[in-house]
Structure 1
């Protein structure tokens, strides 16, 4: 059985990779870019630095900075109107997962029209929209190398999963120096998000030898360096390892798919506005405990790749160490419980059946080694309050 591998056409990885943008645009035949980013990237000066670099190479770029965390249909539509009005031939997506996800969606809608819901899974979007050059500034989402985007329909608080080659950036510039200013909270949330990507890709029912190689390599980079980057954001070696690990984890899950953690995470984010990486972190220990009986050897491999279990440990010993590490990691990185985040318990319990249905409808739980029922998903949600 063969496996189709989808990657960006161009990847530039390492310190100062962003300085190659003019050359990459020339290679792609693009001369009229629109920078899609958020207001924080403007405030930090990253957008201006990019514009200056382009100007020095006789390229002019406008900036759209109205993307929002956890992008919505309305925020995407504003970007679509900007992209349609400017006669742009490509998009430079600058920022974390939200600006990059926004840029992917805007690139499709600006080119083909329609509404975001028209492109929701199970539709697979293989048509190419405006080409997207992704410049990530967090080490977490892997969105720069994935064929997915997540957009919230604010009318019903549904996080819509959109899938297909059409959402894959044409180029990715992975420059760890852009992460040196990240605060500890974002470092933690995006880092655990990346670790979740690697673990879920490895245990996914759609895993392949190729995605396995990327997932294991990602875990080896992420697990020993996440705490270091969290406690000392100026640790360049840790930052570089996290950035490369996050990108490799993105490649892994883009080609093997995510599983139950992500399926259950999206409804929490949509209903209670919990950042995506944070809701993943809340769920990862409980979902892992639920799933281990169906793939004990695979989870043991994860523990060994992460460096928390010895090669001589039994499968059961390795898995117990994995569960303990995931709990300890959440504790040290101060991942809040839903209650500590400020979620109302009764409201959460009331929404659990709806969230379970949304999780199953996303398709991601079907990739899990142990496929849950509605009731089992509800019970996992309930454990978050234990």
Structure 2
């Protein structure tokens, strides 16, 4: 069997590493950038940390800052128009998953205009040209969009999210600077950290997992289990470890896939506007419990990563329960919601949510086969 692994051409890590951006742009021969970000990052001055560097270097740029949470098709189309108007030859994405994903779609549609309806990018789209080059600067420790081939767009008209999987979309350069994440509020640190944990656990147990991806995911689980709670409480060392761990998880899951947690979280974001990490946090432990019979010995490793005593010796069923309990304890300890009713879902929504989750591309990677009815039952158990 053949396994493919795709990562950035180059990545920089560490406090203050954003200072490399102007020289990297110049070294690669770019002439002008379109900076893609969101209004909050502009207002709080986070995006300005990068644009000031461009100003000081005399590197031309324009800013497109209309990206919304759970970015929409219209966001993408407006960004494509902004890129054309700017005459830029490189994109600089500053933000969490929303600006990063929007930027990927802008770059792909610009390079492959036959996909300008955006919806046709769903799944593994047959694009033929690489995206307009992207420099990705994450401001959260969660999505790992800066190193993945995936991006997610919301179809407002149809009230659904769709996942796009395209090696042409991966940024050429990732700049992972924990200082860009330092001003994030606790709620965002928690949500994005739970997203990263979900990536690591789903990537570790997905059907496409193999030895190399397992190395990345298990390391990410180990670090996140130790670092997420202190990072949420303001520990700078833990925050830097989280910035690394979420990237490492992205290196893995981008190449092997995810599972039912993400498939069920996407409709919650599309219909109720739930932050993606919050939805993942609600679903992760319950879906782990559902998947447990199909995961072999892998929950033993997860339990050990969370510090479960005697994880190596416990009977398999007990260690699986311990792994699920450890994840649930972290989630509740961080104060994440535990029920979908807390984000607005009710019994009347279950059928639509279940069908959307079943149709989601991430469901195909789940280690346990699942029916629409079983998905509905999982949602219903979380009302």
- What TM-score do you get using the length of structure 1 for normalisation? 0.95
> 356-365 or 81-90: which moved more?
356-365
Unaligned runs of 5+ in 2: none
Aligned to 1:318: 319
Deviations 1:118-151 (A, max 9, x none): 2111424453121111000100011111001100
Q: Secondary structure at the match of 1:150?
A: strand
Aligned to 1:343: 344
Matched, 1:328 2:326: no
Cα distance in 1 for residues equivalent to 2:375 and 2:126 = 26
Aligned to 2:188: 186
Asked if the contact 2:300–2:312 (Cα under 8 Å) also holds between the matched residues in 1, the reply is no
Deviations 1:177-202 (A, max 9, x none): 11111111111110011000000001
Aligned to 1:150: 152
Aligned to 1:361: 359
**1:51 to 1:265, Cα distance in 2 relative to 1, 3 A:** same
Unaligned runs of 5+ in 1: none
Cα distance in 2 for residues equivalent to 1:128 and 1:122 = 14
Cα distance in 1 for residues equivalent to 2:19 and 2:149 = 25
Instruction: Quote the offset at 1:314 in angstroms.
Output: 3.3
Instruction: Quote the offset at 1:9 in angstroms.
Output: 0.7
Aligned to 2:42: 42
Cα distance in 1 for residues equivalent to 2:315 and 2:243 = 31
Cα distance in 2 for residues equivalent to 1:64 and 1:366 = 35
Q: Secondary structure at the match of 1:23?
A: helix
Cα distance in 1 for residues equivalent to 2:133 and 2:124 = 23
Asked if the contact 1:126–1:165 (Cα under 8 Å) also holds between the matched residues in 2, the reply is no
Asked if the contact 2:91–2:134 (Cα under 8 Å) also holds between the matched residues in 1, the reply is yes
Asked if the contact 1:129–1:166 (Cα under 8 Å) also holds between the matched residues in 2, the reply is yes
**1:375 to 1:245, Cα distance in 2 relative to 1, 3 A:** same
Matched, 1:281 2:286: no
- Please, what is the CA RMSD of the aligned residues? 1.5
Instruction: Quote the offset at 1:305 in angstroms.
Output: 2.4
Deviations 1:242-294 (A, max 9, x none): 11000011111101111110011101110111010010111111100000011
Deviations 1:316-375 (A, max 9, x none): 332222111122122211112446634152xxx223222222222222122111010111
Q: Secondary structure at the match of 2:218?
A: helix
Aligned residues: 380
Asked if the contact 2:306–2:326 (Cα under 8 Å) also holds between the matched residues in 1, the reply is no
Pairs within 5 Å for 1:54-65: 54-65=54-65
Cα distance in 2 for residues equivalent to 1:92 and 1:14 = 18
**1:200 to 1:57, Cα distance in 2 relative to 1, 3 A:** same
Pairs within 5 Å for 1:98-177: 98-113=98-113, 114-125=116-127, 127-177=129-179
Cα distance in 1 for residues equivalent to 2:340 and 2:267 = 16
Cα distance in 2 for residues equivalent to 1:339 and 1:298 = 27
Deviations 1:297-329 (A, max 9, x none): 112212212333533333333222211112212
Asked if the contact 1:81–1:110 (Cα under 8 Å) also holds between the matched residues in 2, the reply is no
Aligned to 1:94: 94
Asked if the contact 1:285–1:323 (Cα under 8 Å) also holds between the matched residues in 2, the reply is yes
Deviations 1:170-221 (A, max 9, x none): 1100111111111111111100110000000010110121111100111111
- What TM-score do you get using the length of structure 2 for normalisation? 0.95
Instruction: Quote the offset at 1:12 in angstroms.
Output: 0.6
Asked if the contact 1:157–1:270 (Cα under 8 Å) also holds between the matched residues in 2, the reply is yes
